[in-house]
């Protein structure tokens, strides 16, 4: 794991301090206030193997962010990547709130009712309602607009990237990573199947056996809060460190307190992305909520109310995602 520094002191904490379990009975969260070390690799969003490997890599600007495809299967040709990017551009055309003629823009303006929307948009709206109920209102696509009109764009990117992964898989991809502005879908392993020089390992975090995903430090751009090892899963992060206080508690209208960022890992990027938004909006209670989500786990960077004492915390079961073994209670 990489560095978590205290923003109030600017000091680098010592390495190897033990983790402790929060004793609150309704908060099954592990915590380590002394996670030290600078990441060895510079790509902090998808840190993959350095050995030359077969496959294709491409990055394009879509949906207002950089979307990167990294496919390690030698059998997958450029046409598959063309199809994925064409699909994502079409999603942007149809669902961007910044395009006046998009379906979502018409929905927001009240020119289109949900019952008359396309099947894709109705499915997105249904998922938004599902997450609103699951999160007890903390993910609410209507609460942040004064007019109460629905704006489902907080779920669209994760949904689109998850659909894009199905296009790659239909083309034969089994070992790939899609990175959309830090929201990630990873399949298989970066070594690919049959790559020379890579031996199987019992440890998925071994080089080539898992995609290494870095979680950006909320305050220090060239540091990582943690490095994860992911196979066949999705990673989504929400926080206020890139776009400011754009996520607010919909029940109070105020910015959340006590949580600088939250990262969710699970089988679906659609839900991981929405859950990360909801958990961040909850503030200090967000990770306790994540701990009860079946199939999902999370970690976050928390602070005291004055913004000091930054520390990495995680839910029970998240330990298996750390690229390096986390400290154990009582060590």
DSSP states of 98-122: TSTTSHHHHHHHTSS-GGGS-HHHH
pLDDT at 326 (0 to 100):
65
pLDDT at 246 (0 to 100):
56
CB of 212 within 8 A of CB of 296? no
pLDDT at 328 (0 to 100):
45
CA distances from 43 to 49, 212, 227 (A): 11, 10, 11
Beta bridge partners of 215: 226
pLDDT at 78 (0 to 100):
97
pLDDT at 10 (0 to 100):
30
285-306: pLDDT as tens digits: 899 999 999 999 999 988 766 6
SS3 of 243-287: the string is: CCCCCCCCCCCCCCCCEEEEEEEECCHHHHHHHHHHHHHHHHHHH
pLDDT < 50 regions, the chain: 1-50, 194-207, 242-245, 327-331
134-157: pLDDT as tens digits: 999 999 998 878 888 999 998 999
For residue 83, what is the DSSP state? H
CA distances from 90 to 62, 70, 96, 164 (A): 10, 21, 10, 12
What is the rounded CA–CA span in Å between residue 45 and residue 180?
10
Tokens 């942040």 sit at which residue?
Answer: 144
pLDDT at 46 (0 to 100):
43
pLDDT at 32 (0 to 100):
39
CB of 234 within 8 A of CB of 268? yes
Task: Kindly list the structural domains of the chain, giving each domain's residue range(s) and its CATH number in brackets, ordered by start.
Answer: 20-321 (3.10.520.10)
């Amino acid at each position: 794991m990489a560095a978590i520094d205290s923003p109030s002191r600017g000091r680098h904490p010592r390495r190897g301090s033990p983790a402790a379990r929060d004793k609150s009975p309704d908060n099954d969260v592990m915590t380590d206030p002394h996670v030290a070390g600078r990441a060895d690799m510079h790509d902090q969003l998808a840190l993959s193997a350095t050995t030359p490997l077969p496959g294709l890599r491409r990055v394009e600007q879509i949906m207002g962010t950089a979307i990167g495809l990294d496919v390690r299967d030698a059998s997958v040709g450029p046409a598959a990547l063309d199809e994925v990017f064409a699909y994502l551009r079409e999603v942007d055309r149809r669902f961007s709130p910044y395009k006046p003629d998009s379906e979502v823009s018409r929905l927001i303006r009240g020119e289109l009712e949900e019952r008359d929307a396309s099947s894709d948009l109705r499915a997105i709206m249904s998922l938004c309602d599902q997450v609103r109920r699951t999160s007890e209102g903390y993910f609410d696509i209507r609460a942040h607009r004064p007019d109460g009109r629905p704006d489902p764009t907080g779920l669209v990117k994760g949904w689109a990237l998850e659909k894009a992964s199905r296009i790659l898989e239909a083309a034969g991809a089994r070992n790939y990573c899609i990175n959309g502005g830090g929201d990630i879908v990873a399949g298989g392993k970066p070594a690919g199947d049959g790559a020379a020089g890579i031996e199987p390992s019992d440890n998925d975090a071994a080089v080539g056996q898992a995609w290494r995903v870095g979680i950006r430090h909320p305050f220090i751009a060239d540091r990582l809060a943690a490095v994860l090892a992911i196979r066949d899963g999705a990673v989504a992060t929400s926080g206020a460190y890139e776009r400011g206080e754009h996520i607010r508690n919909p029940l109070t209208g105020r910015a959340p307190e006590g949580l600088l960022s939250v990262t969710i890992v699970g089988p679906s990027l659609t839900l991981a992305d929405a859950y990360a938004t909801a958990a961040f909006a909850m503030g200090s209670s967000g990770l306790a909520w994540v701990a009860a989500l079946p199939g999902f786990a999370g970690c976050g960077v928390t602070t005291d109310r004055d913004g000091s004492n930054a520390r990495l915390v995680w839910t029970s079961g998240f330990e298996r995602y750390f690229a390096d073994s986390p400290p154990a209670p009582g060590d």
